[in-house]
A and B are shown apart, each in its own frame.
Chain A
């Protein structure tokens, strides 16, 4: 499996606030490794690889498949489309951003911006570079009100335009790398296991969960259904940029980040660390004093509780249309997961 081409297909599909395109693409990819891949009531993609052993424990590998986006709330009398965010959209990246409005078919649009020639007229409002609120920025879809209202309805979803690019052979820039990077890591892990003909000591349930950006909702119901004994969530986390605090970030290209938090299972976390050292897989450690803010929490408190660990792919410019990740970090996460499975969960 080629990580770059897999990611390009994953990232180019839309998965904003309940759009199933990305689920379909990921589901087809998962089909190669699992016998029956299904969608549940919320749209989560779930596939199971049976170990064939009676009473084998279940390990859930999870990555959220959704991405940040917006939802249409109104169309004004000039045909401009107004939205509310689905997830923590970075408003700083919206003026002049190119989007797809998922109406009766996909329509191209641009978030409105005021040209500098007029900026001085709004000086009072403009002080300290204050940006308008998301729900006050219209999207220009090049239509008059009548056409726009015909083609686009309240509740239609809006996602960033596909823009997958390589900055060099390892650095990838795209929208939705949060969290297609995690999805790709799990798929690559399954590919490694298949190639090496690994016979795991557990059943593996793979979940690509929806609605993480809206509050980790998909993972909660899928964890209930899968009812795993162990789970590893794979998500993205902050990669350092020159303006950020080094203590709060990982480094791009230095390997997957193993999450340490009171909400995560210590034994599994330590096991990941030991395996990384043993197999010389580059990794970093991300220590959090409280909740991780990922699906790891909603999985770990499903039913009577699930032992859960968290692996993260470092990511720059999270929640903008130009997120940047490093292929080597996705490989590292995949190899670490594969080695973790090879060593077996029965020892836990």
Chain B
């Protein structure tokens, strides 16, 4: 699974430009030993119907988004610098001084030297609309050979294993994609549908059309969520902690989760000794927000990976959490597909 994540995080996939990730996922699904029927819908979602060993009582969907936050080039200056806007929520604090890749070309984001700033500027983040990408071009003509308005850029950041942790760009949510691919590597216990969605970071847009097309009874959204268990954040504001297992949500800014499913998940974790934690703040949102409002409504649950420094060049997750999340999902499939009563 670590290799899967490494390869997935190496691919650029800014919202709306998920092509490389989609191709990779389709390729992986095509070599699975399970019987899988895949299709790509008009927005670019990958929908995979995986035949299990047994038929399911209720149609079950597992969804993970393929896209990542990044930048879109909005203009090229006469001096050859690129103007840009963020695609998805990127905090201006993590942008200055970072390296990016635009169409395969390296660039850097900076401004005048700290020595030349006024006192009140020295300790302030630079707003994104004041920043430019420097790709080493000296003129507009030279720059547009490498990048034009409408092209996208991602942070450049390598994959690293640090003890039990993984650091990479785009772990949100390639880690979720890797978990779903892992579930489809061999024939699962029950039939299930997987959705690898597009445009989550710009408003859960892919999940909306995917859910409409699939029309599931139950959906589990596998995403990455804010672990703010980091330096200087008081315990009560940490949301969740890495190393404590998958994060189960009761509510976020987009969804009030199905209480019954929530209880089943926590109970399943407890009885099988799988680590799990409850998300301790109502923040963020994920594809569940779009899925649960699809057609006549869908019962949803969220099983998320705790991820530090979300939406920055240096996201971090724990290998242990990945393992626990996979175990929990494997347990939930038979429960939701057939074994428990949920009505």
Q: Do A and B come from one complex?
A: yes
A residues adjacent to B (C-beta < 8 A): 76, 78, 80, 82, 88, 90-98, 107-108, 110, 112-119, 121, 128-133, 136-143, 163, 165-168, 170-171, 173, 238, 241-245, 248, 253, 316-322, 324
Please name all residues of chain A whose beta carbon is closer than 8 Å to the beta carbon of B126 when the two chains form the complex: 92, 129
Closest residue on chain A to residue B123 by CB atoms: A131
Please name all residues of chain A whose beta carbon is closer than 8 Å to the beta carbon of B135 when the two chains form the complex: 167-168
Interface size class of B (residues with CB under 8 A): 35 or more
Extra pairs beyond A93-B110, A95-B93, A97-B314 (10, CB < 8 Å): A91-B114, A91-B122, A92-B124, A119-B91, A141-B162, A170-B136, A244-B112, A317-B110, A322-B110, A324-B108
How distant is A12 from chain B, measured CB to nearest CB, in Å? 14
B162:A118 contact, CB within 8 angstroms? no
B316 interface residue per 8 A CB criterion: yes
B164 interface residue per 8 A CB criterion: yes
How distant is A172 from chain B, measured CB to nearest CB, in Å? 9
Please name all residues of chain B whose beta carbon is closer than 8 Å to the beta carbon of A131 when the two chains form the complex: 93, 123-125
Q: Name the contact of A88 in the complex, choosing from B111, B115, B130 (C-beta under 8 A).
A: B115
A95:B312 contact, CB within 8 angstroms? yes
Please name all residues of chain A whose beta carbon is closer than 8 Å to the beta carbon of B115 when the two chains form the complex: 88, 238, 318-319
- In the bound assembly, the distance between CA atoms of A316 and B162 in angstroms comes to 32
Closest residue on chain B to residue A316 by CB atoms: B110
Instruction: Take A90-B114, A320-B96 as given contacts and tell me if A96 and B231 are in contact as well, using a CB distance cutoff of 8 Å.
Output: no
Instruction: Take A96-B314, A248-B116, A324-B136 as given contacts and tell me if A140 and B110 are in contact as well, using a CB distance cutoff of 8 Å.
Output: no
* CB-based closest 5 A-B pairs: A138-B231, A93-B97, A167-B136, A317-B110, A171-B136
B311 interface residue per 8 A CB criterion: yes
B314:A98 contact, CB within 8 angstroms? yes
Q: Name the contact of A117 in the complex, choosing from B114, B127, B167, B226 (C-beta under 8 A).
A: B226
Please name all residues of chain B whose beta carbon is closer than 8 Å to the beta carbon of A253 when the two chains form the complex: 138
B92 interface residue per 8 A CB criterion: yes
Please name all residues of chain A whose beta carbon is closer than 8 Å to the beta carbon of B91 when the two chains form the complex: 95, 113-116, 119
A173:B108 contact, CB within 8 angstroms? yes
| Between-chain CB contacts (< 8 Å), 22 pairs | A91-B123, A93-B110, A97-B97, A98-B157, A108-B160, A112-B308, A114-B93, A115-B311, A117-B310, A118-B226, A118-B237, A129-B93, A129-B125, A129-B126, A138-B231, A139-B231, A140-B231, A238-B113, A242-B81, A253-B138, A317-B108, A322-B110
Instruction: Take A92-B96, A96-B314 as given contacts and tell me if A136 and B110 are in contact as well, using a CB distance cutoff of 8 Å.
Output: no
How distant is B88 from chain A, measured CB to nearest CB, in Å? 9
A96:B77 contact, CB within 8 angstroms? no
Majority SS at the chain A contact face: loop
Please name all residues of chain A whose beta carbon is closer than 8 Å to the beta carbon of B316 when the two chains form the complex: 110, 140, 142
Please name all residues of chain B whose beta carbon is closer than 8 Å to the beta carbon of A76 when the two chains form the complex: 231
Please name all residues of chain B whose beta carbon is closer than 8 Å to the beta carbon of A140 when the two chains form the complex: 230-231, 308-309, 316
Closest residue on chain A to residue B78 by CB atoms: A242
Closest residue on chain B to residue A129 by CB atoms: B125
Please name all residues of chain A whose beta carbon is closer than 8 Å to the beta carbon of B125 when the two chains form the complex: 92, 129-131
Question: Which residues in chain B, 122-169, are within 8 Å of chain A measured between CB atoms?
Answer: 122-127, 130, 132, 134-138, 157, 160, 162-165, 167
Instruction: Take A96-B309, A132-B232 as given contacts and tell me if A319 and B314 are in contact as well, using a CB distance cutoff of 8 Å.
Output: no
A93:B96 contact, CB within 8 angstroms? yes
Please name all residues of chain B whose beta carbon is closer than 8 Å to the beta carbon of A114 when the two chains form the complex: 91, 93, 228, 230, 233
B20 interface residue per 8 A CB criterion: no
How distant is B324 from chain A, measured CB to nearest CB, in Å? 18
- In the bound assembly, the distance between CA atoms of A119 and B284 in angstroms comes to 11
- In the bound assembly, the distance between CA atoms of A317 and B133 in angstroms comes to 12
How distant is B173 from chain A, measured CB to nearest CB, in Å? 14
Please name all residues of chain A whose beta carbon is closer than 8 Å to the beta carbon of B108 when the two chains form the complex: 167, 173, 317, 322, 324
- In the bound assembly, the distance between CA atoms of A72 and B338 in angstroms comes to 55
Closest residue on chain A to residue B313 by CB atoms: A96
Instruction: Take A96-B94, A173-B106, A316-B134 as given contacts and tell me if A115 and B312 are in contact as well, using a CB distance cutoff of 8 Å.
Output: yes
Please name all residues of chain A whose beta carbon is closer than 8 Å to the beta carbon of B231 when the two chains form the complex: 76, 78, 80, 82, 112, 137-140
A317:B111 contact, CB within 8 angstroms? yes
B97:A321 contact, CB within 8 angstroms? yes
How distant is A342 from chain B, measured CB to nearest CB, in Å? 31
How distant is B322 from chain A, measured CB to nearest CB, in Å? 15
B229 interface residue per 8 A CB criterion: yes
B124:A128 contact, CB within 8 angstroms? yes
Please name all residues of chain A whose beta carbon is closer than 8 Å to the beta carbon of B104 when the two chains form the complex: none
Please name all residues of chain A whose beta carbon is closer than 8 Å to the beta carbon of B202 when the two chains form the complex: none
Please name all residues of chain A whose beta carbon is closer than 8 Å to the beta carbon of B246 when the two chains form the complex: none
Q: Name the contact of B130 in the complex, choosing from A133, A243, A322 (C-beta under 8 A).
A: A243
A92:B97 contact, CB within 8 angstroms? yes
- In the bound assembly, the distance between CA atoms of A183 and B41 in angstroms comes to 57
- In the bound assembly, the distance between CA atoms of A107 and B108 in angstroms comes to 25
How distant is B312 from chain A, measured CB to nearest CB, in Å? 4
Please name all residues of chain B whose beta carbon is closer than 8 Å to the beta carbon of A80 when the two chains form the complex: 230-232
Instruction: Take A136-B232, A167-B135, A242-B77 as given contacts and tell me if A322 and B93 are in contact as well, using a CB distance cutoff of 8 Å.
Output: no
B89 interface residue per 8 A CB criterion: yes
- B293-311 CB mask vs A (1 if < 8 Å, else 0) is 0000000000000001111
A92:B114 contact, CB within 8 angstroms? yes
B163:A143 contact, CB within 8 angstroms? yes
B11 interface residue per 8 A CB criterion: no
The winner among B89, B109, B127, B162 for most chain A CB atoms within 10 A is B162
Please name all residues of chain A whose beta carbon is closer than 8 Å to the beta carbon of B116 when the two chains form the complex: 238, 244-245, 248
How distant is B184 from chain A, measured CB to nearest CB, in Å? 29
Q: Name the contact of B112 in the complex, choosing from A96, A107, A136, A243 (C-beta under 8 A).
A: A243
Q: Name the contact of B111 in the complex, choosing from A78, A95, A115, A243 (C-beta under 8 A).
A: A243
B206 interface residue per 8 A CB criterion: no
How distant is B161 from chain A, measured CB to nearest CB, in Å? 9
Closest residue on chain B to residue A252 by CB atoms: B138
The winner among B77, B123, B126 for most chain A CB atoms within 10 A is B123
Closest residue on chain B to residue A161 by CB atoms: B158
Q: Name the contact of A167 in the complex, choosing from B93, B134, B312 (C-beta under 8 A).
A: B134
- In the bound assembly, the distance between CA atoms of A253 and B309 in angstroms comes to 36
Please name all residues of chain A whose beta carbon is closer than 8 Å to the beta carbon of B97 when the two chains form the complex: 90, 92-94, 97, 317, 320-322
Instruction: Take A92-B96, A118-B239, A140-B316 as given contacts and tell me if A110 and B106 are in contact as well, using a CB distance cutoff of 8 Å.
Output: no
B232:A112 contact, CB within 8 angstroms? yes
Instruction: Take A113-B93, A140-B230, A322-B97 as given contacts and tell me if A88 and B136 are in contact as well, using a CB distance cutoff of 8 Å.
Output: no
